[in-house]
Amino acid sequence: MFEGVGSGDLDAFQDVWLPNHAQLLSEVEGDGVQLDDWYQGQTEFGTAMPSYMTDVTTMGDLNRSNVDQIYGIGPGSVIMKRISEEVEPASNLQPKLVESRPAGMLSEVDRLYNEEEQFAFIAWRLHWMNRVYDFKYLKDPQDALGELNHSATASSIVNEDLPNEDPMALTFMSADAHRGSGQRDRRGDQQYG
C-alpha cells in the first residue's frame, strides 16, 4: 500500500498507524503527503484469543493451551515480522504462525469462534471484528512486540500529485481528518471497531 501511494499507482492509503508503520512511511518520504490523524480513540494490535479461553492471558500461556496455530495476516505486515523475529524466540512460542490475507484469516476466525474451538489470531482495534467477536488481546510481558504494544495514531497518506490532480479528493480526506480531530464519534470505538 505504501509503495503504491509512493509510486502513484494508488492515490491514498487511509490506514497509516504510527509508530507501527514508521519504517514503511519513511520509504515513501517525498512521494507522499501525510494527512492529520483521523482517529482519536485507543488502538490495539496483537495476538488475541476468544474470551471463552479463560486460562490463557499472555503470549507464553499459548504453549500450555491446545492452540497449535496463530492465524495471521500478510507476511510483509509489521506484526507478522515482529512475532516471528521477536515474540517467538522471547516466549519460545510453540504454535505455528500461519500467514493469510485478512479476509481468509477472518473467515477461519468466524468458523472456529462459532464452533468454540481453541485458537489464536492477529487482531487490531479499528476493525469490525472487535464488535462481532468477544475476545481478549494477550499480554506481552516481555514487551517483545515493542511499540506495537502501545496505542498508535491513525492517519492517511496521499500521493504527492493528488493535491494538484484531484484537489476535491484531498479536501474531502483532509476534512474527514479534521472532523475526527478533537472530537470523538459519540459511539467511540463502535464506529471503527
Q: Examine the domain organization and report whether 50 and 135 are in the same domain.
A: yes
Q: Is the distance from CB of 122 to CB of 95 less than 8 angstroms? A: no
* Residue range 140-183, pLDDT digits in tens: 999 999 888 888 888 999 999 998 999 999 988 887 555 544 43
Per-residue confidence (pLDDT) for residue 58, from 0 to 100:
93
Handedness of CA 72, 119, 89, 142 (dihedral sign): positive
pTM listed for this prediction? 0.76
Per-residue confidence (pLDDT) for residue 39, from 0 to 100:
84
The three cell numbers locating residue 161 = 500529485
Mean pLDDT of the chain: 87
Question: What total of structural domains would you count in the chain?
Answer: 2
Question: What mean pLDDT do residues 58-68 have?
Answer: 92
Angle at 3 between CA 46 and CA 70, to 5 degrees: 25
Question: What mean pLDDT do residues 15-28 have?
Answer: 89
Is the predicted pLDDT of residue 190 greater than 70, yes or no?
no
| Greatest CA separation for the chain | 56
For residue 98, the enclosing domain spans 44-149
Is the predicted pLDDT of residue 186 greater than 70, yes or no?
no
Q: Examine the domain organization and report whether 53 and 99 are in the same domain.
A: yes
* Residue range 81-110, pLDDT digits in tens: 999 999 999 888 999 999 999 999 999 999
Cell 459511539, located at residue: 187
CATH of the domain at 124: 3.40.190.100
Q: Is the distance from CB of 22 to CB of 104 less than 8 angstroms? A: no
